[in-house]
Structure 1
Amino acid sequence: MHVPTRPAAPAVPPRLARTTGKRAGAVLCVLFLALLALVACEWGPLVSLDRWGADGLHPVAVGHHGWTRFVHWLSDRLWDPWTMRAVLAVAALWLLRRREWLLVAWVAGTSALGTVLQQLLKAAVDRDRPRWPDPVAVASYQAFPSGHALTATVTCGLVVWLLWLRRVRPAGIRTALVVGAVSVVGVGFTRLYLGVHWLSDVVGGWLLGAALVAGSAWAYDAVTARRATARGELEDTRK
């Protein structure tokens, strides 16, 4: 009995996907650099906005112990950077079973680059975290950008990209998009609620993480397209 197979062609033309990824990455980079400049020069309106958000959430966290413990669990367990990296490790094992060696290296490299960039930026900007006389949480290292927000964005973005790249059913991609969006927004909220980050730290993590995923996807498509062209030219010379 003949079993129909899925078409090999992607839902979006490869050239269009590369162009879209390149443009998205460029826009996200510009937005992140603009935010970085405002943070570095301590732009007054941005500082006021950060302070307003922190001052509004901190009394809620102090006054609601049960809810704050739950938010702690979300931030330090469910959406912790190491949990996010474990998700990528599972994705890498799935790719290894499929012998997708280049993709495994690409995913690992993108994740590692995100970690390196955030640590370099934290050291370079050297921004203090919010300080409270009655803190509900403590975090180490400098504030900008948020490592939790960046890691969650990179992880969820890469997972969705991998599912799209390997033609997983649309329902699976939609589910991953919803779970990813909830995780990215949720982890940002937990860092603000716990009073360990400013709003601009979280937005910076989102922007940089999204830029990394877009740039990585574009670069991977460009490299694989070039390799496919080289293979085609080599086969033509052998005919």
Structure 2
Amino acid sequence: MRTERKLTRLDRVFARLDREPERPAHIGVPRMSPHRVVLFAATLAFYAAIVWAVIITSWLVTLDWQVMFFRPYQQWPEIHAFLDYYVVLGQRGPTAVMVTAWLGWRSWRMHTLRPLLALGVSLLLLNVTVGAAKIGMGRLGPHYATTIGSNEMWLGGDIFPSGHTANAVVTWGILAYLASTPRARRWLSAVSAVISLGVGLTTVYIGTHWLSDVVLGWAAGLLILLALPWFEPLIARAEARVFALRDAWRSRRAGTAPVPATASVAAAAMLSPHEAHAESAASAAPRASADEEPAPREPVSAPRTSRTPPAPAYLAPGPHTSRAERMPVTPAGSRRPPHSERVTRGTSHTSQPRPVTGG
């Protein structure tokens, strides 16, 4: 019986990825072009301007208070229930699960880990940059404001910039960043812009963020998307490292795993009878004594033009002799033991007396 190693789920995943080890040629990796560098510098300047305008309590802080006193959730209460669900599109957990599922399917189809690694790098940058800004500036939200007209900075809050808005820009914008065609990139850019714009304004409607928080959240998310091409070499090295670890793990498993006994039987069964006979004779040659005369060689047949079909796996390896060439059970004659009282078939039983029993 021929046995095969049962593939695990991880083996099947890597086998799927190995079907096309190279990245498809029509998918280009974004590079840090001069145009993108200019956009990054302009967005960074805008980010710094918003922070400075809030710190000096400029007209932007006054606008924040005016919007807060307007109380949009009281002006349009009929859409409050819908916006409570819509704002989930900016929460970290649900959006990360949805986008990871989509990019995981993309990685499966494209046979590359780049989509998932790009998402991981962008979320890491988002947590580090936005989280550091929130903790560093410590601004309080509208519901916890203490002094009317103040910027509420460095009071222990964590709402500046808006995490919902920045998360919506990054998690939905990464789909446009990883798009494979220019048309898909344009459509996904528009969709991600609408979603992130709606999520930011929804937080202002509910009253959890100032308007300046949302504007800074848009800028923070856009900075991460614009800076991603700088991390493409790191993503490529991480992908190569993952596959190198996979190959090392496979080779280590192949080197330490014991070879089953049935493997040699199956390998011998694939040989033709002539090759198996030659192999068995070669293995038995060292065991022959020195004083024995070598057996006469068999005549060499004509070269074969086609390979003999392999023997079935359930047959034992080695040459199979015909029934006439096998050694009999007894030295000579019939295999049945001699018996003087045995009656030959066809003779009558009445010719011999039967023993008398009884009294």
TM interval, short-chain normalised? 0.7 to 0.9
CA contact (8 A) 1:50 1:198 kept: yes
Counterpart check, 1:107 vs 2:110: no
1:221 CA drift (Å):
7.5
Q: Show the 5 A alignment for 1:153-164.
A: 153-163=169-179
Matched AA of 2:105:
W
Work out the percentage of aligned pairs sharing the same amino acid.
24
CA contact (8 A) 1:130 1:197 kept: yes
Q: Is the 8 A contact 1:87 1:155 kept in 2?
A: no
Q: CA deviation at 1:20?
A: 1.9
Which among 44, 59, 63 is matched to residue 49 of structure 1? 63
1:37 paired to 2:48: no
Structure 1 residue 22: Cα displacement: 2.0
Q: Which residue of 2 aligns with 1:85?
A: 96
After the TM superposition, which residues 162-181 of structure 1 pair with which residues of structure 2 at under 5 Å, given as runs? 162-163=178-179, 166-167=180-181, 170=183, 172-181=184-193
**How many residue pairs get matched?**
202
Cα 1:192/1:111, change in 2 over 3 Å:
same
Determine which structure has greater relative contact order: mean sequence separation of CA pairs < 8 Å that are 6+ residues apart, divided by chain length: 1
Q: Cα offset for 1:103?
A: 4.2
Q: Classify 1:14/1:101 alpha carbon distance in 2 versus 1 (closer, same or farther; 3 Å).
A: closer
Distance 1:160 1:9 in 2: 13
Q: Report the counterpart of residue 202 of structure 2 in structure 1.
A: 190
Amino acid across the alignment from 2:221: G
What amino acid sits opposite 1:131 in the alignment?
A: H
1:78 is displaced (CA, Å) by 3.5
SS at 1:23's partner residue?
helix
Matching residue of 1:66: 78
Counterpart CA distance in 2 for 1:14 and 1:154 is 16
Paired amino acid for 2:37:
K
8 Å Cα contact 2:100-2:116 kept in structure 1: no
CA contact (8 A) 1:18 1:221 kept: no
The superposition leaves residues 166-206 of structure 1 with CA deviations (integer Å, 9 ceiling, x where unpaired) of 22x62x33432332121011001100000110111001000
TM-score normalised by the chain length of structure 2? 0.50
* Cα distance in structure 1, aligned partners of 2:124 and 2:77: 35
When the two chains are superposed, the root-mean-square deviation of aligned CA atoms in Å is 2.9
> What is the rounded CA distance, in whole Å, between the counterparts of 1:105 and 1:129 in structure 2?
34
Distance 2:117 2:144 in 1: 42
AA of the residue aligned to 1:148: H
Write the letter of the residue equivalent to 2:67.
G
C-alpha displacement of 1:142: 1.6
Residue 93 of structure 1 and its aligned partner are, at CA, apart by: 0.3
Larger-gyration structure (1/2): 2
Q: Aligned in 2, Cα 1:22/1:88: closer, same or farther, shift over 3 Å?
A: farther
The residue type equivalent to 1:151 in the other structure is N
Query: For residue 155 of structure 1, what is the amino acid of its counterpart?
Result: T
* Structure 1 residue runs without a partner (length 5+): 1-5, 134-139, 225-239
SS in 2 for 1:143: coil
Shift in alpha-carbon separation, 1:83–1:141, aligned structure 2, 3 A: farther
Identify which range, 108-117 or 187-196, moves more after superposition: 108-117
**Pair 44,26 (structure 1): closer, same or farther in 2 beyond 3 Å:** closer
Q: Does 1:8 align with 2:26?
A: yes
Residue 51 of structure 1: how far off its partner (Å) = 1.0
**Cα distance, 1:9 vs. partner?**
7.9
Of the three residues 229, 246, 256, the one matched with 1:217 is 229
